[in-house]
Amino acid sequence: MKMVHLFLALWLQLLGYGWAGMFRKYLVDSPHMWWPSNLIQVSLFRALHEKEKRLNGGKTRLQFFAIDSITAQQVGSGLNGLGIGSFGLDWSTVAGFLGSPLATPLFAILSTMAGFSMMVYIILPIAYWQNAFESRRFPMFSQETYDGAGQVYNVTRIMNERGFDLDVVGYDGYSKLYLSAVFAIGLGFGFAALMAAITHVALFDGKSIWEHWKKTTGEKNDRSIDVHTRIMRRNYEVVPRWWFMATMIIPFALSFLAIEGFGKQLQLPWWALIMACAFAFAFTLPAGIILATTNQMIWTDVIVDLLIGYIYPGKPLANVVFKSYSSVSMFQALDFLSDFKLGHYMKIPPKSMFLVQIAGTLVGSAAQFATAWALISNIDNICDIEKLPVGSPWTCPGYDYFYSTSILWGVIGPHRVLDNGVYSILKWFFLIGALAPFAIWLLARRFPNKKWIESVHVPIIFSGAYGILPARPVHYLSWAAVGIFFNYYVYRKYKGWWARHTYILSAALDAGVAFMAVMIYFTLQSKNVYGPVWWGLEADDHCPLAKCPTVPGIFVDGCPAFHITLNHF
């Protein structure tokens, strides 16, 4: 089984590299696809490798952190000074779920927060307090799955141990599966975000894509290409197309052997593998355009879960493998294209970039697989928040959500959840997502002088509402506060400082968190030392009753029992 896991991790990553080559012209060579996150790395590499002279005793980009004013440090120190303006800010909380706010354009931040605010401060309270989806039986914010009694869903009661698939008799004798209000509504916005991405790209970028396609054979003399592309073509050979074709065909063939061999442990039939790869290929371009211009990802996993759940219900492993090939391989293709754009900016030979990426993937996949297997084998109660010690970092919020969706769509199946269940209304979000961008497009055409209208990015608005799980409001609010401060206030008032220091600051914060995480693990956490027990270390907001249901008849440990009816609310 270990070999199956290793092959799966390796082949689905390499597979994405194949169709990354098919979209280089649109997502790398085009000057409109600027990949904001790459500017952080460009700033870091330039700061580390370019020699810079200080003028009139000033500071270089790397020295701007070093404030040598005694007065400033006395006023600002939170430990040995007045502490004016000091505050605690965990950068992993700010950037851990939504990416660096310093690299995200202001319009994308505002669009994301519009979706977040619409979801959290308008729709969610109304839905919860009106008991939509019977949601007051469960916590308002949770990514767990529940039964009708308000308890965490016991999936072992509905699974066949031998075949690892749905036991229909067990399911009928147990309970329907329920979700928290934020989980259910978030899924609806996930449906809308994907449909909106297709419509948005067709309306706002369709003409540009068509023009690029028409110039495919004669673009060598195209004057519209930017200076980076001209320099790269003048000095370096492009990566041959057959290299990309090889990285697509060979992993696909090996993937075919993996799912058909090993006793078909992965449950996925061969035709579903083809379907998953076709889906990933089709959505690489629209998702890439949005990522390259907004620094925000459109997640396709929710529609992928739905698709395989309808076609091949009751098979959780098949659901997970299908999602991996259709989503992870697409994300890998986008990472590959992003790295090619970084090489574009830094003038790295494309062939060297390609070979290094392939080598890194081979080594990284093996290392990550070994690390994951070691963690699962050696850390007790990993990902189980209730049983982990205070301060433990092994809470796995993303994987907890991944598990819940695999139960929802892979075991139970969408026909039981959407067609005949309490969540059937969520299907209307597909239509909402497909039509919503038309409103912005028509307004932009009706008022061409109002340039801000085109900055209203409907897919990002819906994606902001969908991404509330596994993130939480604190992540959104912290991310937005930092992003708006730098990309609005600092940008407008200190544009020179912003252009010179913002991206290198983001790189420094990212590197600092990563370095400290490694150092703390090997020096403390590997020896089961998680720090002193005090309220500031606990991964909690000290509001335990927020997890409680608010209807009578539901009894949860640690929660008060309600003895009133819903009519009193």
pLDDT tens per residue across span 330-358: 888 898 888 888 888 888 888 998 999 89
> Once rounded to an integer, what is the mean pLDDT over residues 244-269?
85
pLDDT of residue 76: 41
Those residues whose C-beta lies under 8 Å from the C-beta of residue 246, and which sit 6 or more positions away, are 18
58 or 253: whose pLDDT is higher?
Answer: 253
pLDDT tens, position by position, 536-552:
666 566 666 677 677 77
Those residues whose C-beta lies under 8 Å from the C-beta of residue 312, and which sit 6 or more positions away, are 268, 269, 272, 318, 319, 322
pLDDT of residue 192: 95
pLDDT of residue 188: 94
> Once rounded to an integer, what is the mean pLDDT over residues 154-179?
89
Distance separating alpha carbons of residues 313 and 229, to the nearest angstrom: 47
pLDDT of residue 490: 94
- Of 60-69, 89-98, 457-466, 551-560, the poorest mean pLDDT is in 60-69
Cβ contact 503:103 at 8 Å: yes
Is 150 inside a domain boundary?
A: yes
pLDDT of residue 84: 42
Is 156 inside a domain boundary?
A: yes
Q: For residue 511, is pLDDT > 60?
A: yes
What's the burial of 267, exposed, middle or buried (CB within 10 Å: 0-12/13-18/19+)?
Answer: buried
Cβ contact 136:180 at 8 Å: no
> Sign of the CA dihedral 94, 95, 96, 98?
positive
pLDDT of residue 510: 87
260 band by pLDDT with thresholds 50, 70 and 90: confident
pTM beyond 0.85, yes or no: no
pLDDT of residue 541: 60
Q: State the alpha helices, DSSP H only, in 236-348.
A: 241-260, 270-294, 301-311, 316-323, 329-346
pLDDT of residue 53: 62
The DSSP call for residue 205 is I
Structure tokens at 499: 């252009």
Q: For residue 54, is pLDDT > 80?
A: no
Is 153 inside a domain boundary?
A: yes
pLDDT of residue 569: 36
pLDDT of residue 218: 52
Question: Which of 308, 297, 303 has the alpha carbon at shortest distance from 272?
Answer: 308
Q: For residue 217, is pLDDT > 60?
A: no
447 band by pLDDT with thresholds 50, 70 and 90: very high
Is 288 inside a domain boundary?
A: yes
- Of 8-17, 179-188, 240-249, the poorest mean pLDDT is in 8-17
The count of C-alpha atoms lying within 13 angstroms of the C-alpha of 153, restricted to the half-sphere facing its C-beta, is 28
70 band by pLDDT with thresholds 50, 70 and 90: very low
> Once rounded to an integer, what is the mean pLDDT over residues 230-255?
87
Domain holding 415, by residue range, is: 2-52+106-568
Distance separating alpha carbons of residues 413 and 314, to the nearest angstrom: 6
257 or 545: whose pLDDT is higher?
Answer: 257
Is 60 inside a domain boundary?
A: no
Q: For residue 75, is pLDDT > 50?
A: no
pLDDT tens, position by position, 368-377:
888 888 888 8
> Once rounded to an integer, what is the mean pLDDT over residues 59-70?
51
- Of 139-143, 237-241, 483-487, the poorest mean pLDDT is in 139-143
pLDDT of residue 398: 72
- Of 25-29, 139-143, 239-243, 303-307, the poorest mean pLDDT is in 25-29
- Of 1-10, 351-360, 436-445, 513-522, the poorest mean pLDDT is in 1-10
> Once rounded to an integer, what is the mean pLDDT over residues 105-132?
89
> Once rounded to an integer, what is the mean pLDDT over residues 125-142?
86
115 band by pLDDT with thresholds 50, 70 and 90: very high
pLDDT of residue 73: 44
* Highest mean pLDDT, choosing among 43-57, 378-392, 449-463, 544-558: 449-463
* Highest mean pLDDT, choosing among 80-84, 385-389, 390-394: 385-389
User: How many domains is the chain built from?
Assistant: 1
Is 87 inside a domain boundary?
A: no
Cβ contact 23:286 at 8 Å: no
* Highest mean pLDDT, choosing among 56-60, 421-425, 546-550: 421-425
Is 324 inside a domain boundary?
A: yes
Is 491 inside a domain boundary?
A: yes
pLDDT of residue 91: 84
Percent of the chain exceeding pLDDT 70 equals: 80
Q: For residue 493, is pLDDT > 80?
A: yes
Q: For residue 7, is pLDDT > 60?
A: yes
Which whole-number Å values give the CA distances from 196 to 26, 203, 204, 430, 444, in the listed order? 20, 10, 12, 9, 16
78 band by pLDDT with thresholds 50, 70 and 90: very low
CB atoms within 10 A of CB 501: 22
